[in-house]
Structure 1
């Protein structure tokens, strides 16, 4: 059942659904399309195989009014032309930064394509966010994307066969599962770069959202946002979200980490759970007005909290509103930044014959009073 103003699912003012015809395009000989997932409660995700991007995500509020809570655009051309390269995208081969755009495996050095000063960010300029994935939709709640990344694409060794599966289930969870295999040793760290505003995309700020992160520690960074290799406690810092805090409560802190990141742009070391068979609780965030709530569960050891510090207002979104400074946030589950060059961090090395597999769940609900 599709959400519209004519059926039982009420849309918030200004919400328009993306049209499939606006996402038909040939890029590098492959066809771009738009795919719609919807569960029995009316939650809806629209995803394009260009970069595996979440184009829209409709979620109800306390009055059962559905709003689109992810930033993005209503046409493929806008995504391609945007100054913000990562709206809603799958990120690979390596999410986050690799210092000096290089690493060694068994004594052999690999030079990556730098795109963040001297560093590699999110797999380089031709990363997974910029490729067209092969797509199969086995049912109305599942989308399977596959991509073969050739040896030395963006400098990474190995032919990497990758599968990402999106499932929008009837528990109101968007489940993203990642699987990969390689024919030679390589580093891998896949994630999703969805930008959220639980008040509705185009709303002016996320600083009023309340956030909790299940992490006693974080990985501090230097001025170029590369980890120092240390793991430090969040206690007595603005990065302590072990209890709910409004995102903007300490945003003006002169703590060096807040200065380096121009706000929040940090990897949190998630506290492990006691049951290895279950996904770990990573974070919970809610909007105090709409009461929309999102919880994050993952098999990953870390999560990047990014507070939209580099949004400038130059990009105009689906409602015709500019995406202002700190008007959306990201919770990117991951291994730690620069792990290939940090022997003290959990390894991101994938060997031939091994399988990379990780899952992250975004669970949506309405926060009780």
Structure 2
């Protein structure tokens, strides 16, 4: 039987990987070996997380985290290479733009194993972002590039991928499959709405964790002063990332908004379903807001998901207090339809069929 090794390093990658894993199990043409690098230690990723979300447990857990970018990527590269030499897969599947992504791609490529990059072609055009470096390098050495959007396809054409031997295809966004699948379970599994005494469309959901925001005192002060102002009118709920918590304490920033502990995926889905809008510096949450028919205020200077901005579903404000509040006020009054199709359907199935072709070629 042909074999695939999937490299995962963070909870969002496990959620996306679960979509493809279900398709692989349905056809039973391949054996899938899952490697968890341990890049993002997440207390919510217990045994219950894997059981409730129907995600296959990793065969290997490398437990590599809390290091510098170079040390983390280097250790992952070494350990993944050992696993690939042992397992001898026909392809390695990687997701997104983390250190786990580039480490998996490099290890596979140097052993002449085919590389499948899911979420290929995304660009922020901000080369100071570690994620941008990871995604550019991964795309360049991938054999099959699975693009989520037309913009991602155009980015690769502009970078000359038409002249490279890799296969570039638009499959859609695999996270859409995940949100649709898990939405059936989140309502019965999650109690977060009752626990926080929240009302439908009666609160704003915010997440702030990106390093360029948390490590800059002025930016963080601007963001939280805007959230405090919004909180006076509409309750702001913010699952507080440990990095953000440390920096708020370091800079002496006080806030009146409702900060809660980081939440599991089912709780996050229910918060998304029930909020009035989203304010975030996360990449993935911008799309999940759209999938749940919610506008998104992006507190960054750029986004990889430019189609959300171009179609009026999201607005880039940077970290400017006035712009954040203005975008919130504008979106709160909006009755825009979310019927527009941006991210495809049955994405996992399409990716699977392309991987099958690649392996059997």
Interval containing the TM-score (normalised by the shorter chain): under 0.3
Q: Point out the structure with the larger helix share.
A: 2
TM-score by length of 2: 0.26
Higher RCO, Cα 8 Å, sep 6+: 1
TM-score by length of 1: 0.26
